[in-house]
């Protein structure tokens, strides 16, 4: 009996030891370490590695020349190996307040930081993230304020002939207030899905903070899947664990715009909304900006507020759809109905910058009123988060 008790005790001790290793053994170093002066140290334990680098949007971009022209890529910095096999790099200057993403490159192989559990997916790429607080970046943080609710909701789209999923944010107090709320329809870019704005765009945090500060009206935010061939985000559909890709059919050929009233009807039926043009806004980034432009002109009595974030503008010449017929005539009707806000924003180095210049010229020539907002840098989530923080406070005034 005594021997059995000893064996059981040894077994329990081993079990506890393995459990502790599972909980704590996978974090051998602190990385990233944000110092008081906002410099940041990255560390990776890799004693057998020959070369370790870090790449991310916190580093100055590098320019490369190819046969197709000159391009900017994320910067790369070298880590230095210490005596214990821990590689280390500290930024030479403090980082400005922002949400940053990064990855390691170990002997040419890209990998995530095993010491940092915080990851986001952008199409098919996973990167680690961290936040330097202060200024606008405090809007991206979870603060001690009332919080809204984020849900994934399925709806039927008769036009597309399938059940589809959307992400919906309802503001703090929605469940008990009994009030009706305006709705912002927020659309993602090519390769994205209904998860993009809530994870990469920090929509819930931004809305919670702006509403709590009294800078934005409490509103519902609907983030649908903008790929007309998809039920939902990769891995969340009846088709199984498909790899994410930007090469999806039925994205910018009119199907999504034709089906968009299905979304509005569902939201108005199932949420306490203000069911009028004055209570609706639509905005999107890149492909989502393209959709926002064409949906809002196609249904000029549906949205009183329109936001084009780094938007693609005109359809490809080989695309044929009634949605894209008589664009100028439809814009004339839309602007004759005096939308409360038509907001265009883009970065100075965005590859869609010229398309937006040309579009603004068209609006100017016709005397159509709009508001323009320009930032540095290009086609990146940093800009789209900025645009959301600027756009939301102007809605439903």
CATH number for position 61: 2.60.40.10
Residue 2 lies in a domain: no
Please indicate, yes or no, if residue 19 is contained in any of the structural domains.
no
- The pLDDT-based confidence of 68 (bands split at 50, 70, 90) is low
Provide the number of structural domains found in the chain.
2
* 6 domain-assigned: no
pLDDT tens figures, 285-321? 999 999 999 999 999 999 999 999 999 999 999 999 9
Other beta carbons within 10 angstroms of residue 353's beta carbon come to 16
Q: How confident is the model at residue 21 (pLDDT cuts 50, 70, 90)?
A: very low
pLDDT confidence tier of residue 270, bands split at 50, 70 and 90: very high
Residues 166 and 251 in one domain: yes
Structure tokens belonging to residue 206: 């931004």
Contacts of 71 (CB under 8 A, 6+ apart): 63, 64, 65
- Based on the fold, state whether residues 121 and 169 are members of the same structural domain: no
Instruction: Give the list of residues 6+ apart from residue 277 with CB closer than 8 angstroms, or none.
Output: 301, 302, 303, 304
pLDDT at 76 over 70: yes
Residue 9 lies in a domain: no
Range in 154-168, 236-250, 261-275, 370-384 with the lowest mean pLDDT = 236-250
Q: Residue 16 above 50 pLDDT?
A: no
Mean per-residue pLDDT over the chain, rounded: 92
Q: How far apart are CA 349 and CA 336, in angstroms?
A: 32
Domain end among 93, 111, 133 = 133
Is the pTM for the entire model greater than 0.85? yes
54 and 148 housed in the same domain: no
More confident residue, 366 or 14: 366
Q: Of 133, 161, 190, at which residue does a domain stop?
A: 133
| Residue 18: inside a domain | no
Residue showing tokens 């809007």:
139
Cα 12 to Cα 3: distance, rounded to the nearest angstrom:
14
Query: For residue 69, what pLDDT is reported?
Result: 61
Residue 213, domain member (yes or no): yes
Quick check: is 239 in a domain? yes
Residues 158 and 124 in one domain: no
E-strand ranges in 171-219 read: 183-187
User: Do 173 and 282 have their domain in common?
Assistant: yes
Average pLDDT over residues 211-234: 96
> For residues 330 and 298, is the Cβ–Cβ distance under 8 A?
yes
Is the predicted pLDDT of residue 13 greater than 50, yes or no? no
**Looking at 78, 113, 133, which one is the last position of a domain?**
133
Residue 48, token pair as written in the block: 């057998």
Q: Residues 331, 244: one domain?
A: yes
Query: What CATH number does residue 389 fall under?
Result: 3.40.50.1820
> Looking at per-residue confidence, does 252 or 73 come out higher?
252
**Residue 80 sits in which domain range?**
29-133
Do 203 and 94 fall within a single domain? Answer: no
- 384 and 255 in one domain? yes
């Amino acid at each position: 009996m005594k021997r059995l008790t000893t064996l059981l005790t040894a077994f329990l001790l081993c079990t506890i030891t393995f459990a502790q290793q599972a909980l704590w053994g996978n974090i051998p170093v602190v990385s990233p370490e944000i110092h008081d002066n906002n410099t940041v140290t990255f560390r990776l334990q890799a004693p057998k590695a020959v070369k370790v680098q870090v790449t991310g949007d916190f580093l100055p971009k590098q320019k490369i020349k190819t046969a197709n022209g000159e391009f900017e890529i994320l910067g790369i910095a070298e880590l230095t190996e210490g005596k214990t096999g821990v590689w280390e790099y500290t930024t030479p200057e403090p980082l400005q307040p922002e949400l940053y993403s990064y990855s390691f490159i170990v002997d040419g192989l890209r990998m995530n930081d095993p010491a940092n559990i915080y990851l986001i997916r952008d199409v098919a790429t996973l990167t680690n993230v961290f936040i330097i607080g202060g200024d606008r970046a405090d809007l991206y943080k979870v603060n001690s304020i009332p919080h809204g609710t984020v849900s994934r909701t399925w709806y039927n789209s008769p036009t597309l002939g399938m059940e589809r999923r959307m992400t919906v944010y309802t503001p703090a107090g929605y469940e008990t207030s009994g009030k009706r709320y305006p709705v912002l329809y927020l659309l993602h870019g090519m390769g994205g899905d209904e998860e993009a704005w809530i994870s990469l765009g920090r929509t819930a945090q931004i809305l919670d903070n702006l509403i709590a500060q009294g800078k934005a009206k409490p509103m519902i935010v609907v983030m649908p899947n903008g790929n007309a061939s998809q039920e939902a985000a990769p891995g969340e559909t009846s088709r199984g664990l498909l790899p994410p890709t930007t090469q999806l059919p039925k994205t910018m050929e009119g199907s999504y715009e034709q089906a968009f009233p299905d979304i509005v009807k569902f939201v108005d039926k199932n949420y306490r909304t203000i069911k009028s043009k004055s209570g609706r806004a639509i905005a999107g980034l890149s492909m989502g900006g393209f959709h926002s432009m064409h949906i809002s002109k196609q249904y000029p009595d549906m949205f009183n507020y329109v936001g084009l974030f780094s938007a693609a503008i005109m359809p490809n010449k080989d695309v044929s759809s009634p949605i894209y017929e008589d664009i100028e005539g439809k814009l004339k009707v839309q602007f004759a109905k005096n939308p409360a806000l038509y907001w265009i924003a883009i970065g100075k180095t965005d590859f869609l910058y010229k398309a937006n210049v040309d579009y603004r010229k068209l609006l100017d020539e016709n005397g159509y009123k709009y508001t323009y907002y320009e930032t540095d840098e290009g086609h990146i989530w940093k800009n789209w988060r900025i645009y959301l923080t600027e756009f939301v406070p102007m809605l439903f005034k």
